[in-house]
Amino acid sequence: MEKIINAVGLCCPQPIIETKKVLDTVDECTVITIVDNRDAVENLSNFARNSGYAVDFAEKDGQYHVTIKKEKVAECRSANGHRLVILISSDVLGQGADELGEGLMKSYIYALTEVQPRPSTLIFMNKGVFFTTEDSPVKDSIKALEEEGVEILSCGTCLNYFGLSEKLIAGKVSNMYTIAEKLNQADNAIRI
């Protein structure tokens, strides 16, 4: 079965929601979602991969056709089998003195490279996205975590807001749908 969804002009996360509605109703199918921007392509691709579906896309006449095949594969978990998700939504840790909070946040992210178990996913939102971009004070720690299999996701809307979309150095651009899904499916979720 093949289904085509015209999501041209729809804002995030609507293309994903419309695609998921179709995928949830059948056991096997191919869904082609048509979108008009590269961010939507990335969001749909990340959603498909995170859901265990095969995904590909092609540009046609200024639009993108994202093809998702529902072929479930094994669920993705961290190396220890535990899904610990950490949401980092600020560039400071705690409240009060920002200078102190900046130092504490750097120390916390470095400490994540040393402690066990490792989180399965780190999600960066709002000012937290600065940690996954070129001028990050903790880029070595973020890259080390990614190399060890920690999934690094940065909110695409947040990257766009701060003008950082082209400066991402680690992980993937994500969207609110995928972020909500990751948090809901976590065995344990922590907000920093």
Pairwise CA distance, residues 187 & 98, whole Å: 31
User: Strand locations in the chain, DSSP E?
Assistant: 2-6, 30-35, 54-60, 63-69, 84-88, 121-124, 151-155, 172-174, 188-191
- Residue 72's pLDDT is 47
- Residue 1's pLDDT is 83
Domain with CATH 3.30.110.40 in the chain: 2-69
Pairwise CA distance, residues 132 & 168, whole Å: 6
Q: Which amino acid is at 173?
A: V
Pairwise CA distance, residues 95 & 27, whole Å: 48
For helices 176-185 and 38-51, give the axis angle rounded to 10 degrees. 20
User: How far is CA 30 from each of CA 15, 27, 36, 41, rounded to the nearest angstrom?
Assistant: 15, 10, 20, 16
Is 119 or 117 the better-scoring residue by pLDDT?
119
Is the per-residue pLDDT at 67 higher than 80? yes
Q: What is the mean pLDDT of residues 101-115?
A: 93
Instruction: Please state which CATH number belongs to domain 2-69.
Output: 3.30.110.40
* pLDDT mean across residues, the chain: 89
Please check whether residue 46 is in contact with residue 12, taking contact to mean a CB–CB distance below 8 angstroms.
Answer: no
Name the CATH code of domain 84-191 (choices 3.40.50.800, 3.20.20.210, 3.40.630.40, 3.40.1260.10): 3.40.1260.10
What is the percent of the chain where pLDDT is above 70? 94
Backbone phi and psi for residue 5, each to the nearest 5 degrees, phi listed first? -120, 125
Domain with CATH 3.40.1260.10 in the chain: 84-191
Is the per-residue pLDDT at 106 higher than 90? yes
Q: What is the mean pLDDT of residues 72-90?
A: 68
